Amino acid sequence: MTPPSGAAAAVRHPDAPAPGELLGSHYEHCFGCGGAQAHGLHLEVRAGEGVDVTAEFTVRPVHQGAPGLAHGGVLSTALDETMGSLGWLMHMIVVTGHLETDFVRPVPVGTVLHLSAAVTAVDGRKVFTRATGRIGGPEGPVAVRAEALFIKVDVEHFTDHGRDEEIQAAMADPDQVRRARAFEVNP
């Protein structure tokens, strides 16, 4: 998870969303950010000033692991989704290759988890990222933190591997296709 010495700093794409702008969902059925997933996390991610983002996740009863506490896998998902969203700022489609999470404090149901994430380095197709989730406010104590390696892929990663039913539906939606194709131009 340590970037090689030759790794570069991340570059914000000139057409990246403005600081403070909501990124929007990349796919309405995404468990992390989609509005059509009843039990999903419904994460709303905002662009930061650099290659960084913030997001909020409200833990609901459907996200429990132990009584009244968030499931650790769900918290990892929130961190994963937040870090994956950094691709928008570089106009890269990325998928998670490796993710590691530290669970520092239990997170009760009803908590708003304040997430922030940034790219630490880029090495070819490899994007190194880091994220934290705080409770009690954006400056509150850290409850979870993660590091992840994302790998840049083309739209074909999804069209080649996704189940046909969902791919056909996604490709029939012009907004979805436009959103995915916009990432392929990455000067």
Ligand X SMILES: CCCCC/C=C\C/C=C\C/C=C\C/C=C\CCCC(=O)SCCNC(=O)CCNC(=O)[C@H](O)C(C)(C)COP(=O)(O)OP(=O)(O)OC[C@H]1O[C@@H](n2cnc3c(N)ncnc32)[C@H](O)[C@@H]1OP(=O)(O)O
Catalytic residues, by residue number, are 80
Total residues contacting ligand X by CB under 6 A comes to 27
Of the candidate residues 10, 12, 27, 91, the single one contacting ligand X (CB under 6 A): 27
Of the candidate residues 76, 84, 117, 128, the single one contacting ligand X (CB under 6 A): 84
Rg (the chain; Cα; Å): 16
Applying CB under 6 A, the span of 55-63, 101-109, 134-142, 168-176 interacting with ligand X comes to 168-176
Quick check: helix, strand or coil at residue 60? coil
Applying CB under 6 A, the span of 53-61, 65-73, 137-145, 174-182 interacting with ligand X comes to 174-182
Closest CA to 150 of 80, 102, 74: 80
C-alpha pair distances (Å), 84 with each of 12, 23, 25, 76, 129 = 15, 12, 12, 12, 9
153 binds ligand X (CB under 6 A): yes
C-alpha pair distances (Å), 177 with each of 10, 38, 70, 84, 126 = 26, 23, 34, 19, 24
Annotate each residue in 113-152 with x if it binds ligand X (CB under 6 A) or - if it does not, as one string.
Answer: -----------xxx----------------------x-x-
User: Residue 136 has what DSSP assignment?
Assistant: S
Least distance in angstroms from the C-beta of 136 to ligand X: 26
